[in-house]
Chains A and B, each alone.
Chain A
Amino acid sequence: EAGVTQSPTHLIKTRGQQATLRCSPISGHTSVYWYQQALGLGLQFLLWYDEGEERNRGNFPPRFSGRQFPNYSSELNVNALELEDSALYLCASSLAPPGGGLFFGEGSRLTVL
């Protein structure tokens, strides 16, 4: 069974541009989570989607947004990129939030120059 898949693996953008990251959850999982992990640091909660709805968001500015599609895949959009947005963006899925553990993808490494 395929795990959580994320694309692209790496993305390089310049300040002010927009980035779109994509995530496909494990088959049967309806919840998708997005986390930001700056280099060498912990995981900061960004967004949680379940059944196509945004259920919760972390302490990030509105330029971080996303959506979940009817097939439960998700995308994360970051507008007006800033240098400090450079990080590993991790997507995770679960059967039922949040118990039972999150299953993470390999992540998308975003570099903002």
Chain B
Amino acid sequence: GQQVMQIPQYQHVQEGEDFTTYCNSSTTLSNIQWYKQRPGGHPVFLIQLVKSGEVKKQKRLTFQFGEAKKNSSLHITATQTTDVGTYFCAGPAAGNKLTFGGGTRVLVKP
């Protein structure tokens, strides 16, 4: 079955620095979605990418969908303490099952 993998599993970032987290699917995706889960909270939908090579920005967050539609990345610039949480990517598998990656847990050092 489809597998969605994210790296790194953990990301320790100094406040103010940039970082990127990556998402890879074993199959081609019709779309890729990103979610953020704050500690103790529930996942919150951030964005959906549909087109090959698509790039979308939300303030300091830049999301990219790979040309082959099998990978995606999330780049955060000038990390803030409010960025703490786990970032999940998710892609639809057969039967419209949305499969989530294992997540990247972001920890910010002030």
Report A's interface with B, CB cutoff 8 A. 33, 35, 41-43, 45, 48, 55-56, 58, 90, 92, 97-107
Question: What chain A residues lie within 8 Å of B78 (beta carbons)?
Answer: none
Report B's interface with A, CB cutoff 8 A. 30-31, 33, 35, 41-45, 48, 50, 88, 90, 92, 95-103
- Give the contacting residue for B88; candidates A42, A99, A100; CB below 8 A: A42
Closest A residue by C-beta to B98: A98
With contacts A35-B100, A97-B96, A98-B92 known, what are 5 further pairs, Cβ within 8 A? Answer: A45-B99, A56-B95, A56-B96, A58-B97, A106-B42
Question: What chain A residues lie within 8 Å of B43 (beta carbons)?
Answer: 43, 90, 92, 102, 104
Q: Are B31 and A99 in contact (CB under 8 A)?
A: yes
Closest B residue by C-beta to A90: B42
Q: Are B96 and A42 in contact (CB under 8 A)?
A: no
Q: Are A101 and B48 in contact (CB under 8 A)?
A: yes
Nearest-neighbour CB distance to chain A for B4, whole angstroms, equals: 9
Cα A43 to Cα B88 in complex, Å, equals 9
Question: What chain B residues lie within 8 Å of A45 (beta carbons)?
Answer: 97-100
Q: Are A33 and B98 in contact (CB under 8 A)?
A: yes
- Give the contacting residue for B103; candidates A42, A103, A106; CB below 8 A: A42
